Structure 1
Amino acid sequence: MTISIQRWEPENLIFWLARGKPIARRNLLLSILALHLNFNIWMMWSMVVVNLPAVGFSITHQQQFLLVSIPPLTGALMRIIYSSLWSWTGGGTWLAVSTLLLLIPAFGVGHVVQDISTPFPLLLLISACCGIGGGASSSHLSNTSLFFPKAQKGLAMGLNAGIGNLGVSMAQLLIPLAISVPLFGALAGTPQIWGHGSEVYPVWLQNAGYLWIAPVLLVSVLCFVYAHDLPKLRLTPRDQWQMMQERHTWYVCLLYMGTYGTFLGMAAAFPLLSRTLFPLHDATPYLFIGPMLAALSRPFGGWCGDRIGGGISVIACYAVLVIGTIGVIASLPDAQSRGSFWLFLAMCQLLFLAAGIGNGAAYQLAPKVFMLQAGREAHARGETVAQTYLRGTRRGTAAMGVSSVMAAFGGFVIPETFGYSLETAGSFVPAFVLFLLFYLLCAAIAWRCYARAGATLRC
């Protein structure tokens, strides 16, 4: 079973160098592996859905966008539970248990895609099960942040989330390869016949789920054996509710939602979006690039937050998101033009890159803002340094949980907005204009609260 630790003082330099640092690094590595698998499972469904009509499933474009929007929605709802449950079971124990739960969607997807008569409600249920992989961030990142001193939290969480988020890119890279060959032979079942125009060939869509079963079992065992449980915080819904009444929680939520929601929503919707806008261009070879850029750049965002300042870094990222969105709008086909696939592809990659850096910069704001706030209130409360640190940590961790939950809803809103925009206006332009206005609002909030010279919580 996991190893229990009763004393943990990362801000104590002697303790950190003598004992804390190697333990923190081990748990960071395990959390990265587990979170990576969670994102593999969370996003695999988008790669399956784009192929369902070609193998015989009778579903509309609107239903496809609904199917890819459900995992982010259920992932956000799962985060409500995950954000406090880990603090009662122990972070290391929860790493192992939550990873084992990924077997449910892995087996579920592998089963339902083999029968083209599967009713749409059952497809929705399996889509919701894939959201199990979305709950992990709120627990894994909060737990990881406790292992590191304040000066290293941004980079640690950036590495954890960045390499974890790389699971989206890996899923979009590996799944097209895995479904093209009989990877598991007769054990996985018979192939489906993929047909589009004159192209006809066998595929094994079930491999999209079965591919992850062995890695899930392996990482679960490693977490059970080598992960650590820190002294339990025992966060409750009351802690979450209290932080929801704090205005800075909502400011951080909006900033993180704009970046993380863009990464998650665009990753889920991009395969369908590209195929709908540019049916003559096969975007499959490029699907993994954007999520990979976002994932790999997230640690850099955490580093920028630590070194340059979270507020300034976030504003810069939102400026690039605005430029990228304008570029995407310029690339879209209309009545007079077929649009530009290559400009569309390039601008989407720019969106992913800015969102990835913004993820790291925005997420590290929560623990820093509330630790700074606790420090400024310490004298009036008559608290010791240890009491102040504990209160700031608890508030920051609860705020991170709330931010993580709300941000995941962005992954649901973006595909749904695309689907609604296409259905009502016959175009994706209104959706992108809405996103553009939201990015401008977030930039203004970051400047006013965390970047300008007179901001009380400038960080």
Structure 2
Amino acid sequence: MSSSPEAARGREWLESWDPEDAASWDSGLAWRTLWVTTFCLTLAFVAWFLPSAVIPKLNALGYTFSESQLYWMAAMPGLAAGLLRLVWMVLPPIMGTRKMVSLTTLLLVFSTLGWGVRVQEPTAPYWELMVLAFLAGIGGGAFSGFMPSTSYFFPRRMQGTALGLQAGLGNFGVSLVQLLTPYLIGISALAVFGGSQTLAVAGAPNEEVWYQNAAFVWIPLMLVGAVLAWTMLRSVPVEANIRKQFDIFGNQDTWWMTLLYIMTFGTFSGLSAQFGLLMSNLYGESNPEIVSGTGAQAQVLVTGYDVPDVVAYVFLGPLVGAGARVVFSPLTDRMGGAVWTLISGIGLIGSIAFTMTTLTPDTSSAAALESGFTQFLWGMLAIFLFSGIGNASTFKQMPMIFERRQAGGVIGWTAAIAAFGPFFFGVGVTAVGAVAFYGIGVAWAVMCVAITWWRYARPGAPRPG
């Protein structure tokens, strides 16, 4: 017996939903939505940042791309995510949570599968890897749909915690893929499809690896996530067609919060995507003043300098940023978001300025290089910490500043623009150099601190939140 369209819609769409009414609010459904969507969002971030774990090692696997080509490739998922978030931000009221989360999670399989295939032989043309990098941006685009749809399920007093948990745990997908990749590629038993590759790293003997594991291991989890979303989620009816959703652009706070979220999530996503390449080019095997040659023939030019293994450090930044978002989210519910956004901006000014002095490595001695690398690493981790705090606080501010329907749209819009972070970071470092680009970052943070104080944090502020 077939079901009618009305019956099918009844199983998917709730008849009504008012999270501010404690008597009728179904907290069980709200939390189930949060956890299932968060699981899928974590996998979305895995797919989005899988290229960042693979691209720094492409040449070691046999490809011969230039430094500029690799920066552009690492930037491409950010460009795609920013563009695709503009699409995903309007989907929650139209598709509903159930269909949107299920279908998006299935789409993650395509780029992930492609990377798993193309790392096995260094024969893919540059344009094909750029296409795969662009498709990875679907994982970034998902954020602007998943977060607003989850916000519909929770009352305002809990949205800082709920959205902070979802975004923070989702952000862990970045450090998860970067942390596990060096271990996964060494497990031959996981290589059900394809053979081994030779990894030729400067200053180290050649190593047999199975780099397809870094991609293929996530595909079964993506399929599980899609099934969970389809069977366990429902959708909140929200009156907001595409034309109605665009009314957020008439509110000046949409633009102020966009600038603030570029400072926080734009910094987090940009550094997460480019951290490995930047470290390698400054203090690692890709700096020609430090290492000459590749593979077993590589020679360290600075006597006594122990070239750091990028993969041993690159996951730490996203881990710190995502952890800060989770830990500080409950504090934003208690104290308000504006004060923490202010702290985030001040912290970013200091930590970016502290790191700038390390962006021109002193190669005169091993001691100077090691000292510079230590300062560089701690400075970068501080940037990740303060960006994570700001990610939590801005997502507390938006539901407080805007009414529910608009808040969802603003969350989607600001997230879309900030997702261009990896693209602008890669282009900026390539075009003007790391020092000048970090200087722009300091100036941007100063501007955002002024906006936060005047508009949201000072006594008598027009829109405290």
Q: What's the TM-score, normalizing by structure 2? A: 0.89
Check whether the contact 2:240–2:405 (CA below 8 A) recurs between aligned residues.
no
Q: Which of 401, 405, 412 is the matching residue for 1:369?
A: 401
SS in 1 for 2:206: strand
Q: Distance in 2 between matches of 1:287 and 1:359?
A: 20
Unaligned ranges ≥5, structure 1: 371-391, 423-427
Name the residue aligned to 1:195. 200
Q: Which residue is 1:159 aligned to?
A: 165
Query: How far apart, in 2, do the equivalents of 1:50 and 1:159 lie?
Result: 30
SS for the counterpart of 2:19 is: coil
Q: C-alpha distance in 2, partners of 1:69/1:301?
A: 29
Residue pairs, 1:420-435, within 5 angstroms: 420-422=431-433, 428-435=434-441
Task: Write the letter of the residue equivalent to 1:267.
Answer: S
2:230 is the alignment partner of 1:224: yes
Cα distance, 1:268 vs structure 2: 0.5
Match of 2:218 in 1: 212
**Given that residues 74 and 422 in structure 2 are in contact (C-alpha distance below 8 angstroms), is that contact kept between their aligned partners in structure 1?**
no
Q: Confirm whether residue 323 of structure 1 aligns to residue 350 of structure 2.
A: yes
Counterpart contact for 1:169–1:288, Cα < 8 Å: yes
Q: Measure how far apart 1:211 and its partner are.
A: 1.4
1: CA distance, partners of 2:464 / 2:387: 21
Q: What letter is aligned with 1:314?
A: T
Q: 1:175 to 1:233 in 2, by over 3 A?
A: farther
Q: 1:360 aligns with which of 392, 416, 419?
A: 392
Show the counterpart of 1:38: 44
**Distance in 1 (alpha carbons) for counterparts of 2:172 and 2:189:** 23
- Asked whether the equivalents of residues 325 and 391 of structure 2 are also in contact (C-alpha less than 8 Å), the reply is yes
Distance in 2 of aligned mates of 1:292 and 1:356: 10
- Residue 188 of structure 1: how far off its partner (Å): 1.8
User: What is the distance in 1 between the residues matched to 2:393 and 2:153?
Assistant: 19
| 1:398 corresponds to which of 409, 418, 432 | 409
Distance 2:263 2:425 in 1: 10
Q: Which of 273, 277, 281 pairs up with 1:276?
A: 281
Q: Distance in 2 between matches of 1:352 and 1:207?
A: 28
> Shift of the alpha carbon at 1:7?
1.6
Q: What is the CA distance between 1:83 and its match in structure 2? A: 0.9
Deviation at 1:240, TM superposition (A): 4.3
What is the rounded CA distance, in whole Å, between the counterparts of 1:5 and 1:164 in structure 2? Answer: 26
CA distance in structure 2 between the partners assigned to 1:117 and 1:223 by the alignment: 37
Query: What SS is found at the alignment partner of 2:64?
Result: coil
Residue 288 (1) aligns with residue 294 (2): no
What is the CA deviation profile of residues 312-346 of structure 1, one whole-angstrom value per residue up to 9, with x for unaligned ones? 11010111111111111123314776461111111
Matched, 1:350 2:350: no
State the shift of 1:300 in Å: 3.3
Aligned residue for 1:377? none
Structure 1 segment 41-440 matched on structure 2, within 5 A: 41-185=47-191, 187-197=192-202, 198-236=204-242, 238-279=243-284, 280-332=307-359, 333-334=361-362, 338=369, 340-370=372-402, 392-422=403-433, 428-440=434-446
Query: How many aligned positions are there?
Result: 428
- Give 1:15's match in structure 2, choosing from 24, 27, 33: 24
Residue 226 of structure 1 aligns with an amino acid whose one-letter code is M
Q: Which moved more, 1:269-278 or 1:203-212?
A: 203-212
**Structure 2: gaps of 5 or more residues:** 1-7, 285-306
TM-score (norm 1): 0.90
Which one is further off, 405-414 or 164-173?
405-414
1:93 Cα offset (Å): 2.0
What's the CA shift for 1:90?
A: 1.1
Q: After TM superposition, what 4+ stretches of structure 1 lie above 3 angstroms from structure 2? A: 232-235, 334-339
RMSD (Å) for aligned C-alpha atoms = 1.6
- Name the counterpart of 2:287: none
Q: Return the alpha-carbon distance in structure 1 between the equivalents of residues 241 and 127 of structure 2.
A: 35
Q: Given that residues 239 and 398 in structure 1 are in contact (C-alpha distance below 8 angstroms), is that contact kept between their aligned partners in structure 2? A: no
**Could you tell me which residue of structure 2 aligns to residue 387 of structure 1?**
none
Comparing 225-234 with 90-99, which one deviates more in the overlay?
Answer: 225-234
Percent identical among aligned pairs is 31
Q: Provide, for residues 368-393 of structure 1, a one-character-per-residue CA deviation record: whole Å limited to 9, x for no partner.
A: 111xxxxxxxxxxxxxxxxxxxxx21
